[in-house]
Amino acid sequence: MVEALSTGTLDSLPALLARNAREMGGKAAFREKEFGIWRTWTWDEAKSLVDDLAVGLIELGVAPGDHVAILGPNRPQLYMSMIAIQSTGAVPVPLYQEAVAEEAAYVLEHCGAKYVIANDQEQVDKVIEVRDRLAQLKHVIYLDARGLRGYDHSSISSFGGIIESGRAARERLGGEMVRRREALGRDDTCIMLYTSGTTGFPKGVVLTNGNIIESSRVSSAFDGLKPSDEVLAYLPMAWVGDFIFSIGQAHWTGFCVNCPESHDTMSSDLREIGPTYYFAPPRMFEGQLTNVMIRMEDAGAAKRWMFGHFMEHARRVGGRILDGGRVGLADRLKYALGEFLVYGPLKNALGMSNVRVGYTAGEAIGPEIFEFYRSLGINLKQLYGQTEASVFITQQPDREVRSDTVGVPSPGVEIKVGEDGEVHYRSPGTFREYYRNPESTASTKDPDGWVATGDAGFIEEATGHLRIIDRAKDVGKLSTGGMFAPKYVENKLKFYPNILEAVVFGAGRDRCVAFLNIDLAAVGSWAERNNIAYGSYQELSQHPKVLDMVKEHVDEVNRSVAADEMLSGCQIHRFLVLHKQLDADDGELTRTQKVRRKVIGEKFDDLVSALYDGADEVRTETEVTYEDGRKGRIAATLVIRDAEVAPIGTVAAAAMAAE
């Protein structure tokens, strides 16, 4: 066990790394599964790799203030690169690895990156493709040499080569590196992260060492994170959450960051590592739950009965046991038996046996999904954050966990709700500025340091918990005067496993309509069980029985929406199921999988007008982008269905009451 770590003058991540190497050098810092084996880097090894790489980068010409882009999946070498870049006084800028060349070009151009550290040929090719537009770009470094042998190496080199040149130049340039590293202060830029941009171009958020270190310190203490904790790093490196969890908190507390073998091996890597601290977006939890349910459908009758019986019991008492509430002895004993027979094995299959602290954020999570995990004894909580806040705005303390709030202000964060309902915050993690965009900086952050979140919400008086209603700019009015909060309805729709994505339209109109995406895994398995034959995603999406099923979900949502006086005007009158899955490659979602309402509305305007003009079906043709960036077109005839809505009279009355 490692002694309490010193917390003296630690003003940068390289300083934290040096402390960790000094005080627990032999402990695992990073692990990566490669060639079927987990390979470990201790803090000592990490430090020496970072030192060599930093000197190699200085030798290459990296100067303080330069931007160095990072393009690739979660890998220890790339995480260590970020610290090495900081050690030279330069600023790392991680990019979304799935970004197509065009998107990557925008960010590389905007930040004026002089160097890029790329994972492999695929990423190097992206940079080369847009090279002409990147006047400042000097050199590309790659990790995986495969396929790159024949490339002109005048402006690209291998990661190993840079490390070797760094090792050779240690005598000559080591002093320079140490000088630059020690000059780093709390007010210096730590990292620049580009927001995914639900509207318009991404913005470069500049976060300082002070932002990151302070946020990491406070949040680590909030959840009592320890050096012995383990995390699995699989969320995009360009996302602020990953930077805080896998770099900030990991360096502050000294826990170990594990990188999966590949995207497809995630679930088995998760099982092998058994993280103690786990983070996933709602989508991930939904997907895992859907898989469990699909597999249970195929299980034998005895197993199904046992699963159903004990899950029912868990639903009743599991959450209360987790929160330390009062539960009778008989129920506790039965829960313990369930743990042995069902919950334990299930948690093991999910890779969550050891989870001590789990978080979900980014989107609202369905209450049933949330309760499912909590009832198993997994301490899943919600947090609300932003890139601009170095993640943390609010989070749920242990034992105060509910699915409909996002928790209380994180330590050190102040919150106020503006007159228009928009949530504002001020915190030590608050970003310095948007890079090369003073107008946006000024309109988001006021001179006193208050930042507008762009989300509408309110604070519950009884508990002090924050509740988020919707994106402030999405909240509008129907032409009847009723309040229009699309996300509120979309979330209700998305809580059904069969519905993957929903987009609701209605601002300025007299009623609401919706586009839906079916979840291929869930609906496909349902179709198989019900002997429904289909040849393609498109065919399945338009199958009458699928539409019947979806209609039932929409009707149920309408009934639940109608119960809310303020929002009863948001019931879905007509809907259609889209013939293609909404995709970030087509610009319909952000890289963090959030819906771009405006883009979708414009792209499918023929479908929106068909939903309003009363047509029964609509013929449409859509451009799609394949993974390699090529484009194609798909055509389809989509069926439009009417949903049951609560009588218009009550809706109008409710709308008037709201005014």
Partner 1 sequence: MLDDKTGEYAAEDGTEAVVPLMEMRNIVLRFGGVVAIRDISFDIREGEIRAIIGPNGAGKSSLLNVISGFYHPQEGVVIFRGRERAPMKPYQVARQGIARTFQNIALFHGMTVLDNVMTGRLTRMKSSMAAQALWIGSAEREEIENRGKVEEIIDFLNIQHIRKVPVGRLPYGLKKRVELARALAAEPELLLLDEPMAGMNVEEKEDMSRFILDVNDEFGTTIALIEHDMGVVMDLSDRVVVMDYGRKIGDGTPDEVRNNQDVIDAYLGVGHD
Q: Which residues bind partner 1 (CB under 8 A)?
A: 34-37, 146-147, 149-150, 261-262, 264-265, 268
Contact, 50 vs 14, CB < 8 A?
Answer: yes
CB count, 10 Å around CB of 216?
A: 27
Look at the block and give the residue holding tokens 């140490």.
178
The whole-angstrom distance between residue 244's C-alpha and the CA centroid of its chain comes to 12
User: 101 or 459: whose CB is closer to partner 1?
Assistant: 101
User: 201 or 626: whose CB is closer to partner 1?
Assistant: 626
Spatial separation of the C-alpha atoms in residues 502 and 537, rounded to whole Å = 17
User: Could you tell me the two tokens for 571?
Assistant: 């019931």
Task: State the nearest-atom distance from the C-beta of 421 to partner 1, in Å.
Answer: 46
Spatial separation of the C-alpha atoms in residues 240 and 223, rounded to whole Å = 19
Nearest CA among 208, 201, 72 for reference residue 144: 72
Task: State the nearest-atom distance from the C-beta of 261 to partner 1, in Å.
Answer: 5
Task: State the nearest-atom distance from the C-beta of 612 to partner 1, in Å.
Answer: 37
- φ, ψ of residue 224 to 5 degrees: the values are 55, 45
- DSSP assignment letter at 279: E
Task: Calculate the dihedral angle through the C-alpha atoms of 60, 66, 67, 70, rounding to the nearest 10 degrees.
Answer: 20
Spatial separation of the C-alpha atoms in residues 15 and 446, rounded to whole Å = 32
Give CA separation, 112 vs 54, 134, 137, 259, 393, in Å.
Answer: 20, 8, 7, 29, 30
Contact, 214 vs 17, CB < 8 A?
Answer: no
User: 37 or 302: whose CB is closer to partner 1?
Assistant: 37
Tallying the residues shown for the chain, one arrives at 659
User: 37 or 329: whose CB is closer to partner 1?
Assistant: 37
**Which residue type occupies 151?**
Y
The whole-angstrom distance between residue 183's C-alpha and the CA centroid of its chain comes to 33
Contact, 130 vs 104, CB < 8 A?
Answer: yes
Task: State the nearest-atom distance from the C-beta of 325 to partner 1, in Å.
Answer: 41
Spatial separation of the C-alpha atoms in residues 402 and 319, rounded to whole Å = 10
Spatial separation of the C-alpha atoms in residues 603 and 296, rounded to whole Å = 39
Contact, 599 vs 587, CB < 8 A?
Answer: yes
User: 146 or 326: whose CB is closer to partner 1?
Assistant: 146
Task: State the nearest-atom distance from the C-beta of 160 to partner 1, in Å.
Answer: 16
Task: State the nearest-atom distance from the C-beta of 149 to partner 1, in Å.
Answer: 7
Task: State the nearest-atom distance from the C-beta of 141 to partner 1, in Å.
Answer: 20
Nearest CA among 205, 212, 216, 220 for reference residue 190: 212
Task: State the nearest-atom distance from the C-beta of 259 to partner 1, in Å.
Answer: 13
Task: State the nearest-atom distance from the C-beta of 37 to partner 1, in Å.
Answer: 8
| Greatest C-alpha distance within the chain | 82
User: 122 or 555: whose CB is closer to partner 1?
Assistant: 122
Task: State the nearest-atom distance from the C-beta of 260 to partner 1, in Å.
Answer: 9
User: 266 or 296: whose CB is closer to partner 1?
Assistant: 266
User: 35 or 462: whose CB is closer to partner 1?
Assistant: 35
User: 6 or 268: whose CB is closer to partner 1?
Assistant: 268
Contact, 148 vs 142, CB < 8 A?
Answer: yes
Task: State the nearest-atom distance from the C-beta of 542 to partner 1, in Å.
Answer: 22
User: 149 or 326: whose CB is closer to partner 1?
Assistant: 149
User: 35 or 533: whose CB is closer to partner 1?
Assistant: 35
Task: State the nearest-atom distance from the C-beta of 632 to partner 1, in Å.
Answer: 11
User: 328 or 632: whose CB is closer to partner 1?
Assistant: 632
- DSSP assignment letter at 72: S
Look at the block and give the residue holding tokens 């993957």.
500
140-173: buried (b, 16+ CB within 10 Å) or exposed (e) per residue?
bbbbbeeebeebeeeebbebebbbebbeebeeeb
Task: Calculate the dihedral angle through the C-alpha atoms of 403, 409, 414, 419, rounding to the nearest 10 degrees.
Answer: 10
User: 132 or 627: whose CB is closer to partner 1?
Assistant: 627
Helix (H, G, I), strand (E, B) or coil at 110: helix
User: 262 or 443: whose CB is closer to partner 1?
Assistant: 262
User: 19 or 33: whose CB is closer to partner 1?
Assistant: 33
Look at the block and give the residue holding tokens 């069969």.
498
First to last CA, the chain: 61
Q: No. of H helices and E strands in the chain? A: 24, 28
Spatial separation of the C-alpha atoms in residues 16 and 10, rounded to whole Å = 6
Laid out side by side, the sheet with 91-95 consists of 91-95, 67-71, 115-118, 139-142, 156-158
Nearest CA among 349, 344, 336, 337 for reference residue 292: 349
User: 101 or 168: whose CB is closer to partner 1?
Assistant: 101
Task: State the nearest-atom distance from the C-beta of 36 to partner 1, in Å.
Answer: 5
User: 112 or 274: whose CB is closer to partner 1?
Assistant: 274
Task: State the nearest-atom distance from the C-beta of 628 to partner 1, in Å.
Answer: 8
Task: State the nearest-atom distance from the C-beta of 262 to partner 1, in Å.
Answer: 5
The whole-angstrom distance between residue 143's C-alpha and the CA centroid of its chain comes to 25
Task: State the nearest-atom distance from the C-beta of 291 to partner 1, in Å.
Answer: 15
Task: State the nearest-atom distance from the C-beta of 33 to partner 1, in Å.
Answer: 8
Interior angle at CA 198, CA 192 and CA 202, nearest 5: 30
